[in-house]
Structure 1
């Protein structure tokens, strides 16, 4: 199934019948945030909030990537994951 837009790709992830790996979920999160908000300018989460820190770091690794590039990568990743999780 070929998705054309970010919205279609997001809808497709909600149809997954199995959960992607944490690594893939973090990639999806980082690419989605970069595609929708641009560079991560938020403060790093503190303390022992490991989940938020992982999400922060995932988004941060796409810093400098255009929203369009991040959107395209997100769509490609969803299409790849849909082959094993639908």
Structure 2
């Protein structure tokens, strides 16, 4: 009946029955540090083929707050792809 006992349930059932398959297509992460949820890169690398990961100032509305950084990041990623 404490935080410890409730946390124990999460630890003991760590996978929660979810199964993630690896995704082999290239993935880029443009992470804006002021966003609500910031995914750790190590989590993304467990599932995705991360070929680019950049962190920027800005928040949840990156396209409005930092349009140059976001568009440059997308262009940088596209240039890395073998089309």
Q: TM-score, normalised by structure 2?
A: 0.32
Q: Which has the higher contact order (CA 8 A, sep 6+)?
A: 1
Which structure is higher in strand share?
2
Larger C-alpha radius of gyration, 1 or 2? 2
Which structure is higher in helix share?
1
Q: TM-score, normalised by structure 1?
A: 0.31
